């Protein structure tokens, strides 16, 4: 019997080519689209056109499945998405932290709810159009994740949270290709989405205006506060903690005679601290909520030289990772890094581009 695989269909070129590749490899393929978010405001709905949460993307996914003659289903996870992703997104900003909703979506929606749905349908695997490599390493006795061939499109950073059980049932057919190759393949396969633009911003935020989105959802007025410099002097009023993130320069509304940046946020005191560019540098960080991939973990007190990514688009930095307790690591950079941001993920790699693990940044270690 053919092995059965459910492909998470977003209506874009990557998931569409994923479905074709797996069908051509002999799998029995089922396409499923998650309906995650639809605003009450028709204008807001219109501004979501093209994103993976939009209605037109569901229709694109359906048409692709029809052209491939494979079954198509749509599942409604709007309630779960609102609670597990959007609510988390809002609360993190209110705490003065910067969330990563794509990681939350992967953890809760794709590799929990949708994977369970795939297994319930009798499938052996869930496949997605992420750019990453995955295989079973006999030497380690573990499934591993490796950066994609196309380093500009690599998505290993947002997948560090996958467990061994989830990796056992997951396929990533695109990890060995470059995005230009995928578009050419989509054109050769006759897929109408071959030239569809990539989704760039957060799928549920119209026009990338997260501030208005948070304002609309907030049950209480967002409290204003004061900007301070690093010496404790008041510089002016700010609009509210959720509107700022570490390293931010634009939108501060301050004229100080020098380039000003957000260097710290204190949500309890409603303070945003402003400084110069060199004051945004950090020599390390602490991270919690750890997940290990290529290794089972470290012993408490053990250290390891690693390559470190503190945001999705950042180049890996060299540093040392020290396990302080079973769920807290200390990272010290070889050279100071700019704008370490609590709430974001930090992911650790070895010299061979394997994902060792990762966690959530909780504290910065200032220079």
Residue 14 to residue 185: CA distance in whole angstroms: 10
Residue 168 to residue 136: CA distance in whole angstroms: 8
Let me know: does 9 contact 60? Beta carbons within 8 Å.
Answer: no
**Number of C-beta neighbours around residue 66 at 10 A:** 11
Let me know: does 111 contact 153? Beta carbons within 8 Å.
Answer: no
Short-list 104, 100, 102, 89, CA closest to 216: 89
203 flagged as catalytic: yes
| Residue 365, Cβ density class (10 Å: 0-12 exposed, 13-18 middle, ≥19 buried) | middle
Binding residues are 8-15, 34, 129
Judging by DSSP bridges, how do beta strands 225-229 and 271-275 pair with one another? parallel
End-to-end CA gap in the chain: 60
| Neighbour-count burial for 324-357, b at 16+ CB within 10 Å, e otherwise | eeeebbbbebeebbebbbbbbbbbbbbeebbbbb
Active-site option among 52, 53, 65, 105: 105
Beta strands in 107-250 (DSSP E): 125-127, 132-137, 142-147, 170-171, 225-229, 234-238
Active-site option among 52, 53, 65, 203: 203
Binding residues for ATP are 8-15, 34, 129
Going from the C-alpha of 147 to that of each of 35, 68, 95, 157, 259, the distances in angstroms are 29, 29, 32, 9, 36
Instruction: Indicate which residues carry an active-site annotation.
Output: 105, 203
């Amino acid at each position: 019997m053919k092995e059965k695989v459910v492909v998470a269909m977003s209506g874009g070129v990557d998931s569409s080519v994923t479905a074709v590749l797996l069908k051509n490899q002999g799998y029995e393929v089922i396409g499923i689209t998650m309906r995650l978010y639809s605003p009450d405001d028709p204008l807001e709905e219109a501004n979501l056109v093209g994103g993976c949460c939009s209605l037109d993307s569901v229709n694109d996914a359906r048409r692709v499945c029809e052209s491939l003659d494979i079954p198509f289903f749509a599942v409604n996870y709007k309630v779960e998405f609102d609670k597990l992703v959007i609510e988390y997104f809002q609360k993190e900003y209110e705490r003065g932290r910067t969330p990563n909703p794509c990681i939350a979506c992967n953890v809760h929606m794709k590799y929990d709810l949708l994977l369970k749905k795939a297994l319930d349908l009798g499938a052996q695997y869930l496949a997605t159009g992420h750019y990453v490599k995955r295989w079973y390493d006999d030497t380690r006795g573990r499934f591993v994740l490796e950066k994609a061939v196309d380093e500009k499109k690599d998505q290993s950073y947002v997948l560090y949270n996958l467990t061994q059980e989830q990796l056992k049932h997951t396929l990533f057919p695109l990890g060995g290709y470059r995005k230009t190759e995928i578009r050419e393949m989509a054109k050769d396969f006759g897929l109408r989405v071959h030239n569809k633009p990539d989704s760039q911003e957060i799928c549920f935020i119209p026009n990338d205006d997260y501030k208005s989105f948070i304002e609309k959802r907030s049950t209480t007025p967002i409290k204003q506060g004061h900007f301070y410099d690093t010496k404790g002097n008041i510089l002016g009023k700010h609009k509210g903690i959720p509107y700022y993130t570490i390293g931010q320069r634009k939108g501060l509304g301050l004229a100080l005679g020098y380039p000003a940046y957000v260097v710290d946020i204190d949500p309890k005191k409603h303070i945003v601290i402003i400084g110069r560019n060199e004051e945004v540098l950090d020599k390390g960080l602490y991270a919690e909520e750890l997940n290990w991939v290529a290794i089972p973990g470290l012993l408490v007190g053990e250290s390891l030289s690693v390559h470190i990514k503190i945001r999705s688009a950042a180049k890996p930095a060299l540093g040392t990772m020290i396990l302080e307790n079973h769920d807290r690591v200390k990272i010290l950079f070889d050279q100071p890094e700019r704008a370490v941001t609590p709430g974001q993920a930090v992911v650790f790699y070895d010299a061979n581009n394997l994902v060792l693990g990762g966690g959530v940044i909780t504290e910065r270690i200032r220079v």
